[in-house]
Amino acid sequence: MNAPANLKYTKSDEWFDPASGKMGLTDYAQGQLSDIVFVEILVEAGDEIETGKPIASVESVKASAEIYASASGKVAEVNEALADTPEVLNSDPYGAGWMIRLEGGTPGEVMDAAAYEAYCAERTH
């Protein structure tokens, strides 16, 4: 499992980068879902979003899942490329796999990387 130290994480397995305003699905979550075959972003640039509200839906060969906002703020950008290349969430969840970018953004209840890794370890035992 990969959890970059510069990001913040939610218990529902989303990440938020306070420096760039980007957010997405964690490496742990994509690993649990397996091969992601469909991504739908539910918000658009200009939308105001709230922490904990759905921002995207993903489907894999095993399951479907809602992705929730890890921060609140105004959506500055949506990663439109994910619609055509959903598999990038499996190969690069913290890079090309970002879902939306906020202007500023105020994180909700988030953990640092060490706390998130410990949280994920608890769930796998």
Specify the CATH number for the domain of residue 35: 2.40.50.100
Residue 5, in any domain of the structure: no
pLDDT in tens, 17-54: 999 999 999 999 999 999 999 999 999 999 999 999 99
Q: 38 in a domain, yes or no? A: yes
The widest CA-to-CA distance across the chain, in whole angstroms, is 41
Domain total of the chain: 1
Q: Is the pLDDT of residue 116 over 90?
A: yes
92-103 pLDDT tens trace: 999 999 999 999
- Which tokens go with 107? 């994180």
Phi, psi of 19 (to 5 degrees): -75, -40
What whole-number distance in Å separates Cα of residue 70 and Cα of residue 121? 21
Indicate whether 3 belongs to any domain: no
pTM as predicted: 0.94
Q: What's the pLDDT score for residue 124?
A: 74
Output the six-digit token pair for 53. Answer: 């509200």
Residue 36 pairs in a beta bridge with 60
Residue 2 lies in a domain: no
pLDDT for the residue numbered 105: 87
Domain range spanning residue 95?
Answer: 12-118
